[in-house]
Amino acid sequence: MLDIEELQNANCIVIDDSPGYQIQNYGAAFLDSTGGFQPKDICKMTAMGESLYVLADGELRCYEFPSGKLRHRFLSSHCFSSFALDTLTGTLYGLDGKRAELVSFLSDGRENGRMQLDRAYTYTNVDCTGGGQLVLLTDEFPDPAVFKMKTFGGELIRLPVRGKGRKPMALPDSLACPLQVVGNGAEGKFYKYLLNDTLYLLKGDSCLPVFICNMGKDGARFGSKTHALKNNRRLCITGLWETGDYWWIQYRSDYLVKEKLYRCTTMAILYKDLKIKDSGYEFFIQGKTIAMDTRFPVFLNEEGTCFLQIYDRADHLKEEKKELPYNLENAPDRDNLVLNYFYWKPIKNKKR
């Protein structure tokens, strides 16, 4: 059982400012042609080998990794809301949620096919679970509608993922928590629905329960807007990843103190047996614009070895002067967003 309530109770901010403790290597690069973007415009991102795939304000792009040099754009009239990478073939699938269409691209950026989806659903995310199989998420509430597709253009099959089985009601919690969380794993994708305590592994044709996530009495609840502020403490998961030695859990909590709302989003690191290693983890280099700020979206590469994060250095300069990494000091494209990447450190002598 993954005890999120225990993580919150044991929360102690662990500030890692010495490479070698949890991060063994790191770096930064300007991301080409992102001068007009904000970090929130980067909706999804992943890397595979020397390629970085970015969804920037509805447009799919491929960059060199880790240099951040733009290779090509996936030209299309669609405004994409999500994408998936088939790591075996290099095929990229772009999801246009408004049009309910799925578009296939070759690795060089050329369009290779389109598929019209059932317009009865609003699709929010697409992921590849291996072997060319796709999983599509929708915004159905309070019971999730998750579909798998064995091959592009094939039949959509609904997976047996349960919600609360109640009549639709309001969800007044102020956490801005995602309805669904999908995370990378060694054997497939992990899936967690907000109103279901079970974490599932989506692998090929399978939808397997992995473990229970205990949110205690502070999990998200049904209700109405009239009593939203009566809920003093709330917890939700905002990100989840499995790497070779650890589970990385990003979670958010709200506290109401004298009718003033305080919010905290942070990261916990757990061993594979779900015992806590660190709760409240973040990494930074003193005086530099190198930081893994776990309050904001974090992405993991397909190999499961490197975390990725985007930020605007102007945000850091507002608080205090921080220097760019040496490789960016004289770079001409200082108006672009910065890509930070962090390789986690494996356990040398595993005793667990």
Query: Are the C-beta atoms of 339 and 310 separated by less than 8 Å?
Result: yes
pTM higher than the cut 0.75: yes
pLDDT at 209 over 60: yes
169: confidence class by pLDDT, cuts 50, 70, 90? low
> pLDDT grade, residue 79 (50/70/90)?
very high
Range of the domain at 53: 2-344
Question: Cα 185 to the chain's mean position, in Å?
Answer: 12
Q: What percent of the chain has pLDDT over 90?
A: 47
Rounded Cα distance, 325 and 135, in Å: 39
Q: Which tops the pLDDT comparison, 177 or 93? A: 93
115: nearest Cα among 128, 105, 129: 105
Examine residue 351 and state whether it is found in any structural domain, yes or no.
no
350 lies in some domain = no
Phi first, then psi: what are they for 215, rounded to 5°? -100, 0
Least confident of 35-44, 161-170, 256-265: 161-170
Residue 158 pLDDT > 80: yes
Say whether pLDDT at 109 is over 60.
yes
Greater model confidence, 264 or 245: 245
Please, what is the Cα angle at 315 between 309 and 321, to 5 degrees?
A: 110
Question: Is 90 exceeded by the pLDDT of residue 33?
Answer: yes
**What is the reported pLDDT for 168?**
54
The answer to the question of residue 266 being in a domain is yes
pLDDT for 232:
47
* pLDDT score recorded for residue 222: 53
DSSP string, 254-316: EEEETTEEEEEEEEEEEETTS-EEEEEEEEE-TTBS-EE-TTS--EE-TTSSEEEEEE-HHHH
Q: What is the CATH number of the domain that holds 237?
A: 2.120.10.30
Give the range among 258-262, 274-278, 292-296 with minimum mean pLDDT.
Answer: 258-262
Q: Which residue has the higher pLDDT, 344 or 225?
A: 344
Question: pLDDT-based confidence at 341, cuts 50/70/90?
Answer: very high
pLDDT at 39 over 80: yes
Confidence of residue 228 (pLDDT cuts 50, 70, 90): very low
- Range 253-265 average pLDDT: 75
d(Cα 126, Cα 64) in Å, to the nearest integer? 23
The answer to whether residue 131 is domain-embedded is yes
CA atoms within a 13 Å half-sphere pointing along the CA-CB vector of 251:
31
Distance CA 222, CA 263 (A): 20
Instruction: Please report which confidence band the pLDDT of residue 220 belongs to, taking 50, 70 and 90 as the band edges.
Output: low
Q: Could you give the number of structural domains in the chain?
A: 1
> Does pLDDT of 150 surpass 80?
yes
Tell me, yes or no, whether 349 lies in a domain: no
Mean pLDDT of 315-328: 67
66 assigned to some structural domain:
yes
Q: Put residue 67 in one of left, alpha, beta given phi > 0 → left and psi -120 to 50 → alpha.
A: alpha
| Average of per-residue pLDDT values in the chain | 84
More confident residue, 327 or 309: 309
Rounded to an integer, what distance in angstroms lies between the CA atom of residue 152 and that of residue 260?
49
- Residue 260: partners with Cβ closer than 8 Å, 6 or more residues away: none
Q: Is the pLDDT of residue 227 over 60?
A: no
Does residue 352 sit within a domain?
A: no
**Predicted local confidence at residue 229, as pLDDT:** 41
What span, in angstroms and rounded, lies between the C-alpha atoms of 240 and 268? 10
Domain-embedded: residue 134: yes
292/199 Cα distance (integer angstroms): 25
CA 338-309-109 angle, to 5 degrees, is: 80
Name, of 136-150, 231-245, 307-321, the range with top average pLDDT: 136-150
At 12, is the pLDDT very low, low, confident or very high (cuts 50, 70, 90)?
Answer: low
Q: Are 48 and 64 in contact (CB under 8 A)?
A: no
Say if residue 67's pLDDT is above 60: yes
With beta carbons less than 8 A apart as the criterion, state whether 253 and 234 touch. Answer: yes
Is the pLDDT higher at 55 or at 257? 55
| Residue-wise pLDDT tens digits, 283-313 | 887 777 788 888 889 999 999 999 999 988 6
Task: Return the bridge partners of 247, or none.
Answer: 242, 270
Q: Is the confidence at residue 120, as pLDDT, over 90? A: yes
In this prediction, residues 33-57 reach a mean pLDDT of 94
pLDDT bin (cut points 50, 70, 90) of residue 72 is very high
Question: Which pair of tokens denotes residue 213?
Answer: 């996530």
